[in-house]
Chains A and B, each alone.
Chain A
């Protein structure tokens, strides 16, 4: 039997749903199906009815949208004004919404330059577990008033409240970009170059490691300065690499954010470059790409997820399954931590947003 679905068209209807439904699972564009496996008796709340851009003044670098707004539409609007979301959210072409992006806490390769989704969220409005509408943060680029509820919601997977409105800081798009792909003789040499670059004043929009040993580097800025900067980058590395420019370059990065890595479950893993050698020894043929100087790994895993959990656990790492069949997408995450437990109960005392077995404090 397919689960019951509600599609609210207003914040008041979201509140109403929280007050009347026993268990709720908010859903955006459905681009991360592993996070959307409804449990028994769980009503799916389709948030795409709240899809408006509410405020956008390019001169403020601030964008306010409803949570169900589609990434692809928002990015097209920003691009018309020469701006973008610097955390480079993935899965836009797959229909991802901004609410789903925040709830899953996802950023893409370009996060290397200015930061991830947590660094660009300014304000949030959500419906808590008792149906109250709550606002936190603000709509200005600098703000220190009250608890930072916007950041708290990043990665919250709908467990703390149903996002209805979001405010982000946006930035000007680089006027021109160019990419250099540099192959190294082995992982050790590639990692050495990765560390050297990450600690240098060279400002990269992306610093990706593609196993076994290729660094893919993206430069952005004024067109007139790019040739000199590319040459400096090549000299810094002592290698020429392969240049990507123009439409091919843009298309390359655009397609990467589809996260079509290969067969199996799509998993996000958080780490630092220090973990890479051990992971490379353990992950076998699983297709993967390390982003942002080794702080973020996207991985396609064709085997048992329990095996991946053990493998990550051995490194003290955690992950989030985005695509694939599972009732437990959070792997290696300690959900019993005292602060987590108490704050979750404060915002959702009756366990309206809990996953099975519906403990008020899972």
Chain B
């Protein structure tokens, strides 16, 4: 063993320092399996102090590092660095404090997203950000990538629900950012930290804001004979002054897949399905539902269903939530994209994606958060056919450029990570990126923390790796 590793061995006991090839294999990639890299070692800290020690060790020996939780990043954001250190935070998975009166939860970074809501449920509270990875993804990872979900138009993203964080900066120093107050004085350092993709430090303790659970839900499923009509319906709902908690659209390929997977009872012949969900105080929701009904009736839906019970509501959502993994039934492999377009350009974006799909000879299924313009095109390909992965990546890149050209963003909720860093220059000018780099280097002059992510630069070659083992087991899905 090298003296450098021996030093690490003095900091972490056996079992919490992994460096043998067999031990490292499970950490070689995240949910974007096309990338793979072998770290020098993995450490599994159990305390803030151990994270500080690990970071200081990296600084001393100029070894780049990546912190990660469950490794569900879809942008390759938690991909290890070849020869670097991987700091696995899954053992720091405690709920430190739940204060229902102040409506906050203080958790360690390895705490699972869904468990926050489960812990808060007895008090009528919940944690709003709901990425589809929520049964496995951790709060630390959600923070690093500013995760979203289906309710972002009304409720915002992770950043809008984080009150404070204890952070180990890239030089090993500790700072506390934010407070328990929703208000702030002075620059919003916490706002800068959330979504910085692990480049600006590692959160070891996070204070989350909890919301009271809505009293009532009203969930409507509308079927259309064209995708354009469903898109126009969304515009009509918005124009009516309603602010639904969620508006989701699925196209025929996604409907077919979801139906085959979970039998949600969707109208199979539909070319597009729209799900609209209202929530809030009962008298208000009942009144809004009447307005919504009028809007949907006028929108040309040929079939409209309203969930009459929470079981019916769950069934509608089950199909939607399963759509991604279900697409796996239609194709051996697929890539999920995450671009955003202004809502009024949704129709145009979908039409152009259809043309691109035909040009590249690859099928694309569409499931998306229509309320906030966040597209999730699923590009279907077969990794065993030489060249198909590269073609699928090229098509994905064209879709990102399209989103930027329409005035949107290359990522709504998955982050830039490894996958989209080449497209940062499509969205930002060199001066913008340079300012971000200056901030990064001010905190991390050696660029050790999650080196090689977010900023344009060299990316390792894609390799076909097949589906992530967790995804194969149905534990995680890509959304």
Chain A interface residues toward B at CB < 8 A: 57-62, 82, 105, 107, 111, 114-116, 118-119, 128, 132-136, 138-157, 159-160, 171-173, 175, 195, 198-203, 221-222, 224-225, 228-229, 232, 268, 270-274, 292, 295-296, 318-320, 330, 333, 335, 337-340, 342-343, 345-347
Contacts and interface: CB of A to CB of B under 8 A. Distances in A.
B196 A147 contact: yes
A148 B192 contact: yes
Contacts of B409: 138, 140, 142-145
A60 B188 contact: no
B314 to A, nearest CB: 19
Q: Bin the interface of chain B by size.
A: 35 or more
Given A128-B435, A346-B438, A221 B187 contact: no
A342 B186 CA distance: 15
B103 interface: yes
A146 B283 contact: no
11 contacts: A57-B344, A135-B432, A141-B153, A144-B415, A146-B424, A199-B103, A225-B284, A295-B181, A339-B193, A343-B442, A345-B442
A199 B280 CA distance: 14
Interface of B: 100-103, 123-125, 145-146, 148, 152-154, 156-157, 159-160, 167, 169, 173, 175, 177, 179-189, 191-196, 200-201, 212-215, 235, 238-239, 241-243, 280-281, 283-284, 286-288, 291, 340-344, 369, 372-374, 407-416, 420, 424, 427-429, 431-436, 438-443, 454
A225 B157 contact: no
Nearest to B156: A119
Kindly list the 7 A-B residue pairs having the minimum CB-CB distance in the complex, ordered from nearest: A151-B191, A346-B442, A270-B183, A201-B215, A225-B287, A228-B283, A142-B372
A225 B182 CA distance: 29
B415 A330 contact: no
Contact of B436 (A147, A273, A296): A147
Contacts of A343: 187, 189, 192, 439, 442-443
A200 B210 CA distance: 12
Contacts of A60: 342-344
Given A59-B344, A116-B183, A296-B183, A142 B148 contact: yes
A339 B185 CA distance: 15
Contacts of A153: 187-188
B443 A339 contact: yes
A62 B409 CA distance: 14
A270 B373 CA distance: 34
A270 B443 contact: no
Contacts of B167: 339
B281 A155 contact: no
A270 B164 CA distance: 14
Nearest to B101: A195
Given A221-B284, A295-B183, A346 B100 contact: no
A119 B420 CA distance: 25
Given A143-B409, A148-B196, 11 more contacts: A141-B152, A142-B372, A146-B428, A149-B192, A150-B191, A198-B212, A201-B280, A232-B281, A270-B179, A319-B185, A330-B185
Nearest to B152: A142
Contacts of B416: 144-146
B146 A144 contact: yes
Contacts of A295: 181-183
A203 B279 CA distance: 11
Given A140-B340, A145-B427, A152-B188, A222 B442 contact: no
A203 B191 contact: no
B432 A136 contact: yes
A351 to B, nearest CB: 14
A147 B340 contact: no
A171 B243 contact: yes
Given A59-B343, A199-B103, A144 B186 contact: no
Contacts of B412: 140, 142-144
B243 A144 contact: no
B287 A152 contact: no
